[in-house]
């Protein structure tokens, strides 16, 4: 067991002394969790093989699923990537710092473990003062997957990180809850049109406005488990975002969804199963269950995204056996929300009509 130090910092103007304590840990090969605009990341020096190995171990992450490397200036991309296509240059200028991860051919300075033996590397520049200060002060590129135990919902607060990783990592920079709540969008530019491998904080619509056509990888919109061969992003094939409770997603028109959720909740209740309903502001009054929580308004999907992972964790903490979640529209951040919910359910999706 390690002693995990929690360093509270202001999210806008972090105390530089505390950031330096964390940066020194990164430079010495240690592990530091820190806030980004999406979710908390667990950072290690990306070019230090031992540190990255320790990172996989702390998260219990499968070794074939590489982390995203975080930078605080565009020059660093040119050291990590063998080549930077013009489209990438355009995207970096437009969307960075921000929730967009780009896949590049990797350069030779990157150790195999950091990219799980692939010939590509995932890079992004986070839009968070604490994350940027940590990268700057450590003078390192920071490999950083989400700071949860593998398979658990991503952490949107320092408390979530603490619950999963206390005793397994050196420090947590606590900068309060994260703003976006779902992870970055992962985009592969080696395809024409470019391919979204994971929908996230940068919407498909926003990318299309800049790039023209952009496609979604079949996994992203899958309504059932797809065969592994179709996998492009290593993370796609691993169990993800799952709370302990079994998740069921009910999709369809709003009134049909309400009827179906009620019916399911009632039949579980009669069997003595503890049900948690993940509803929205517009629908929550319709349900009676052991716990009912609202993701926010169906008309504000950014708020729904912000609340999703926290509420999945809260429902687990309340000890529910089954979570029945309403589907939300797949527009804007709703696409990322539905991708995470469907995965969390193991594709246990019910179409209400």
Distance from first CA to last CA of the chain, Å, rounded? Answer: 51
The one of ligand TXA, Mg ion, none whose footprint includes residue 186, by CB under 5 to 8 A per kind, is ligand TXA
Nearer to Mg ion, 104 or 309 (CB): 309
Among 127, 138, 144, 146, binds Mg ion (CB under 5 A): 146
Total number of residues binding Mg ion (CB under 5 A)?
Answer: 1
User: 3-class secondary structure for 207-248?
Assistant: HHHHHCCCEECHHHHCCCCCCHHHCCCHHHHCCCCCCCCEEE
The one of ligand TXA, Mg ion, none whose footprint includes residue 68, by CB under 5 to 8 A per kind, is ligand TXA
Alpha helices by DSSP H, the chain? 16-27, 49-59, 75-80, 86-95, 129-138, 158-165, 204-211, 254-270, 301-317, 334-344
The one of Mg ion, ligand TXA, none whose footprint includes residue 184, by CB under 5 to 8 A per kind, is ligand TXA
Nearer to Mg ion, 294 or 307 (CB): 307
The one of Mg ion, ligand TXA, none whose footprint includes residue 126, by CB under 5 to 8 A per kind, is ligand TXA
Nearer to ligand TXA, 4 or 233 (CB): 233
**Region near Mg ion per CB under 5 A, out of 56-64, 141-149, 219-227, 252-260:** 141-149
The one of ligand TXA, Mg ion, none whose footprint includes residue 38, by CB under 5 to 8 A per kind, is ligand TXA
Structure tokens belonging to residue 166 = 């206390």
Query: How remote is the C-alpha of 194 from its chain's centroid?
Result: 21
DSSP 134-185: HHHHHTS-EE--BSS-TTSPPPSSHHHHHHHHTTTSSEEEE--S-SS-SPPE
Nearer to ligand TXA, 41 or 334 (CB): 41
Q: Summarize as ranges the residues that interact with ligand TXA (CB under 6 A).
A: 36, 38-39, 41, 65-68, 99, 101, 103, 115, 118, 120-122, 126, 144-146, 183-184, 186, 197-198, 233-235
Contacts of residues 90-95 at CB distance under 8 Å and 24 or more positions apart, as own/partner, are: 90/210, 91/187, 91/189, 91/207, 91/210, 91/211, 92/125, 94/210, 95/202, 95/206, 95/210
Please report how close the Cβ of residue 145 comes to ligand TXA at its closest, in angstroms. Answer: 3
Please report how close the Cβ of residue 336 comes to Mg ion at its closest, in angstroms. Answer: 13
Please report how close the Cβ of residue 101 comes to Mg ion at its closest, in angstroms. Answer: 12
Please report how close the Cβ of residue 185 comes to ligand TXA at its closest, in angstroms. Answer: 8
The footprint of Mg ion (CB under 5 A) covers: 146
């Amino acid at each position: 067991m390690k002693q995990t130090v929690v360093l509270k910092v202001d999210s806008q103007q972090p105390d530089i002394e505390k950031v330096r304590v964390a940066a020194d840990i990164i430079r010495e090969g240690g592990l530091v969790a820190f806030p980004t605009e999406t979710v908390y990341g667990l950072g290690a020096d990306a070019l230090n093989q031992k540190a990255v190995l320790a990172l996989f171990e702390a998260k219990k992450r499968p070794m074939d699923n590489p982390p995203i490397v975080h930078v605080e200036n565009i020059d660093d991309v040119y050291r990590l990537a063998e080549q930077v296509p013009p489209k990438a240059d355009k995207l970096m200028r437009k969307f960075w710092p921000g929730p967009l991860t780009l896949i590049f051919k990797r350069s030779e300075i990157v150790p195999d473990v950091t990219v799980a033996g692939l010939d590509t590397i995932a890079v992004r520049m986070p839009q968070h003062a604490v994350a940027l200060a940590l990268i700057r002060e450590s003078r390192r590129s920071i490999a950083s997957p989400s700071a949860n135990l593998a398979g658990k919902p991503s952490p949107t607060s320092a408390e979530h990180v603490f619950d999963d990783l206390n005793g397994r990592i050196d420090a947590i920079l606590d900068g309060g809850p994260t703003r976006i709540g779902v992870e970055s969008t992962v985009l592969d530019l080696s395809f024409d049109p470019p391919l979204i491998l994971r929908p996230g904080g940068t919407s498909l619509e926003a990318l299309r406005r800049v790039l023209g056509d952009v496609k979604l990888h079949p996994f992203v919109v899958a309504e059932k488990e797809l065969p592994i061969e179709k996998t492009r992003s290593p993370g796609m094939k691993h169990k993800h975002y799952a709370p302990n409770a079994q998740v069921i997603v009910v999709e369809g028109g709003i009134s049909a969804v309400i009827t179906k959720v009620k019916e399911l909740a009632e039949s579980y209740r009669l069997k003595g199963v503890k049900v948690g309903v993940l509803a929205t502001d517009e629908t929550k009054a319709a349900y009676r269950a052991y716990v009912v929580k609202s993701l926010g308004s169906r008309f504000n999907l950014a708020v729904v995204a912000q609340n999703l992972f926290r509420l999945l964790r809260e429902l687990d903490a309340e000890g529910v056996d089954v979570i029945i979640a309403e589907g939300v529209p797949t527009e804007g951040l709703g696409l990322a929300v539905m991708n995470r919910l469907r995965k969390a359910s193991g594709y246990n999706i019910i179409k209400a009509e």
